[in-house]
Amino acid sequence: MSKADRDPYVATFSIAACDPRTGEVGVAVASKFLAVGSVVPWAEPGVGAVATQALANARYGHEGLALMMGGLSANQALDRMLAGDAGSERRQVGIVGVDGSVAAHTGLGCSPWAGHSVGTNFTCQGNLLAGPHVIEAMAAAFRTATGSFTQRLYAALAAGDHAGGDRRGRQSAALYVQRTGGGYQKLSDVVADLRVDDSPDPLKELARLLALHDLYFGSTPDADRLSLSEPAVLSAILSAMAAAGMPVRSGNIDDAVLLREVERFLGSENLEERIDMARLTIDPPALAYLEARYSDGKEA
């Protein structure tokens, strides 16, 4: 049995980051460890994000956020936690504050290869990895990736996985993002909480979940939203309803009963975040999904 097989540490690579433009904070993580999303990622809107791993001290998540909420920088919070932890040399942690402060720690007792890379508004860290190129690939991907904050976090994670990731293999992955009022119906702060607890290819499954998340909960600029008063738009929705086996009334946009049926149908497709029945609009990705799902009058 090799040292890696006997090692008690959680072999993990992660990125903790914040986006000053959107106010989002979050962590993306992957590991050869069951349900890594239940241990590593912590975030609080308006405060920052923490990734705690290796021989993980889960208290670092809550305590790090609480210390930053109390006014400490990421570096100060990290120093405080390490000073009070007799096992600090076996820990690895990355902390990012919305104030722009970033800090990371890789204890000398972490299993090689172990290290971290701190950048502007992010930190990447990992232990029991294929080599330092894993962290370097993650940092480069996050800096250059486009798209939403969640997509950039995933891009960093995917780059680390492609570079070799956890040298023991793959098992789980997670992506956790918060923003004040950024959750479902704007009634929570959880923008995304996606977890793959046990899979031979967790990054592939996480990508699938992220695509569904973007479909159901993404946003479209007002100028690009489609009006239900456009005959082609309403016709496409009614065709999808008919293909789904729902009774369809006339295509009159002024028909209040019809609009209630349309809203109920779109809700049954989990697209309620993609419509605005007050302004009678729908996001293009939602309409494209319906057209593809119910193409040729048949459910896909």
Give the pLDDT confidence of 65-115 residue by residue, as tens digits: 999 999 999 999 999 999 999 999 999 999 999 999 999 999 999 999 999
Number of separate domains in the chain:
2
pLDDT more than 70, % of the chain = 95
Looking at residue 171, which CATH number applies to its domain? 3.60.20.10
> Binning pLDDT at 50, 70 and 90, where does residue 9 land?
low
Same domain, 113 and 148: yes
Same domain, 195 and 229: no
Same domain, 143 and 257: no
Expressed as residue numbers, the domain containing 137 is 3-208
Give buried/exposed letters for 69-87 (b at 16+ CB in 10 A, else e): eeebbbebbbeebbeebee
> Could you read off the pLDDT of 130-157 as tens digits, one per residue?
899 999 999 999 999 999 999 999 999 9
Q: What is the mean pLDDT of residues 243-252?
A: 82
Residue by residue, what is the 3-state secondary structure of 84-129? CCCCHHHEEEEEEECCCCEEEEECCCCCCCCEEEEECCEEEEECCE
The region of weakest confidence among 43-47, 146-150, 166-170 is 166-170
Same domain, 203 and 226: no
State whether residue 246 is helix, strand or coil. coil
Predicted confidence at residue 167, as pLDDT, reads 74
**Spatial CA neighbour of 267 closest among 189, 184, 180:** 184
pLDDT at 6 over 50: no
Predicted confidence at residue 75, as pLDDT, reads 98
Same domain, 36 and 150: yes
> Binning pLDDT at 50, 70 and 90, where does residue 10 land?
low
pLDDT at 7 over 50: no
Dist CA 72 CA 93 (whole Å):
16
> Among 176, 208, 240, which residue terminates a domain?
208
Task: Tell me whether residue 217 is in a domain.
Answer: no
Same domain, 42 and 187: yes
Under a CB-based contact definition with an 8 Å cutoff, are residues 160 and 134 in contact? yes
Task: Tell me whether residue 182 is in a domain.
Answer: yes
Predicted confidence at residue 296, as pLDDT, reads 61
Task: Tell me whether residue 216 is in a domain.
Answer: no
Same domain, 245 and 202: no
Under a CB-based contact definition with an 8 Å cutoff, are residues 225 and 283 in contact? yes
| DSSP letters spanning 18-29 | EETTTTEEEEEE
Q: What is the mean pLDDT of residues 254-282?
A: 94
